[in-house]
Chains A and B, each alone.
Chain A
């Protein structure tokens, strides 16, 4: 019965998250989920498409498995952590499996259960953050989000960047690798720095946000530009893809930074913006989400100013 209890806990957590989002965002999330599933259903026209979406879903599940923080807790309370993980991931994958089976008329997509089972068996030891020197001109001195983020997920980002460089000859593959980099980078903004670090810039709220966003854009585009330029070299007729991706990633980095400061509290971890951030990121695959980052930026810029002004007013 333990796996069922875990699922009930997950259900309760989900409802709490939805409640915290409020009616408007909950409606948007519900609509987005519906559209995502509809898009998925529409894409299931061939075994090849099902294979690609299966790989993407497996990658997402693997990322969830490696980034979740409750491995030690689950190992403590159950003798069969594998079972808990497997049932949770299967629950997550079920709508996609069902839709694919219905669309294709065959159970091909059920093959995803094998890699998912494999992922569930993987033990993730809680590793201390590796301390390495980040004093490099690539990351500015004040960009602590990237310094800390590189120590936590630098290995994964390095692999993704190498993959992006290697795959520039394959249409869109490098762009998708960069998109996965953006997905990893979005986790850099979960933790609110302590008050002293916000004040250390000695800037008013408007200038502070400008400096923060520009430094984050610089940190992303320094590794992304060589990939994008190589992409342009191999596919000059698709120059517009490069421009579109640059605008898309700049907007999303703006969303990450502003979502953080809209709810910033000194030294607190806040993931309340994660769902909306994920929806903004999905804009690359679901075009109807493309305008969402602009709306989120406008809303969260005002909230960030309101949140930071009392603290930074004296530096005006």
Chain B
């Protein structure tokens, strides 16, 4: 079980996460949704240890979080200029006895590993960053917008890979702007608003998400557009 207690975090004196109490079942795919600025990325960065919490505890199997067991995919992956995809992947070590065949994986994602990363498109960079995470084979994955920039085929491959990883016992936490991707993939979807987890949706409630979360926003947008078009 992953347990987060009383987590407060932010930037400088500005609090973005406001006393989060949260527990995540292991061996599942968890989705994290929230409107822009709700603190999704801040939460992932804090869980990974890139941001020091102002207070609170985060435990994985009753032990404090440790990067040895966690991978983080950031929304916009950056790379080093002048190296190719194969060289990038060669840097990563695999957790446990996982055998990673970079050529086979690259072929699955249709990624030209011998090309310089400088010449990669946004989608190719995302695929390479994902391959780095897959190769690391850590038990807990934090994926910030993993589907952003991926083509249709790669999105389907990633969905299949994540499902397989879940079956192998990994715990995956994903954020996405595309609700449909999450509802098709996740076992739980957590709604983050004003820096706290407002609600957790189970598979049987997933149809309610659109209505409950986005109804108010859609109404506000429609009113605004009506006003603009009428004037």
Contact = CB atoms under 8 A, between A and B. Distances in A.
A147 B66 contact: no
A311 B48 CA distance: 10
Given A129-B116, A314-B66, A202 B78 contact: no
B5 to A, nearest CB: 20
Contacts of A267: 78-80
Contacts, number: 70
A266 B118 contact: no
Interface in B60-95: 66-68, 77-84, 87-88, 90-93
A200 B95 CA distance: 11
A197 interface: yes
B168 interface: no
A60 B188 CA distance: 62
Interface string A84-123: 0000000000000000000000000000000000000000
Contact of B80 (A144, A201, A313): A144
A314 B87 contact: no
Chain B facing A: main interface SS: loop
Contacts of A291: none
Contacts of B50: 195, 311
B68 A148 contact: no
Most chain A CB within a 10 A radius of its CB, from B92, B115, B119: B92
A1 B132 CA distance: 53
A128 B82 CA distance: 10
Given A128-B118, A144-B87, A147-B83, A315 B68 contact: yes
Interface size class of B (residues with CB under 8 A): 20 to 34
Contacts of B203: none
A17 interface: no
A152 B77 contact: no
A67 interface: no
A201 B67 CA distance: 12
A194 B129 CA distance: 11
Nearest to B129: A196
Contacts of B81: 129, 148, 191
Interface in A27-43: none
A9 to B, nearest CB: 26
Given A199-B67, A200-B91, A194 B80 contact: yes
Most chain B CB within a 10 A radius of its CB, from A142, A313, A314: A314
Given A129-B81, A148-B81, A314 B49 contact: yes
A310 B92 CA distance: 20
Nearest to A197: B91
Contacts of B118: 128-129
A5 interface: no
Contacts of B77: 194, 196
A148 B82 contact: yes
A212 to B, nearest CB: 12
Contacts of A315: 67-68
B114 interface: yes
A314 B67 contact: yes
A147 B82 contact: yes
Interface string B162-183: 0000000000000000000000
Contacts of B52: 310
Contact of A129 (B79, B82, B114, B132): B82
A147 B88 CA distance: 11
Contact of A194 (B79, B84, B90, B115): B79
A131 B115 contact: yes
Most chain B CB within a 10 A radius of its CB, from A142, A193, A194, A196: A196
Interface in A152-189: 152
B87 A134 contact: yes
Contacts of B49: 310, 313-314
A273 interface: no
Interface in B84-118: 84, 87-88, 90-93, 114-116, 118
Given A128-B119, A144-B91, A310-B49, 15 more contacts: A144-B80, A144-B83, A147-B82, A147-B87, A148-B80, A151-B82, A151-B116, A152-B82, A194-B77, A194-B78, A197-B88, A199-B67, A200-B93, A200-B132, A314-B68
13 contacts: A128-B119, A129-B81, A141-B87, A141-B91, A142-B90, A147-B87, A193-B80, A196-B129, A197-B91, A200-B91, A266-B78, A310-B52, A314-B49
Interface of A: 128-129, 131, 133-134, 141-142, 144, 147-149, 151-152, 191, 193-197, 199-202, 266-267, 310-311, 313-315
Among all A-B residue pairs, the 6 with the closest Cβ atoms:
A148-B82, A267-B78, A314-B67, A200-B91, A194-B78, A314-B66
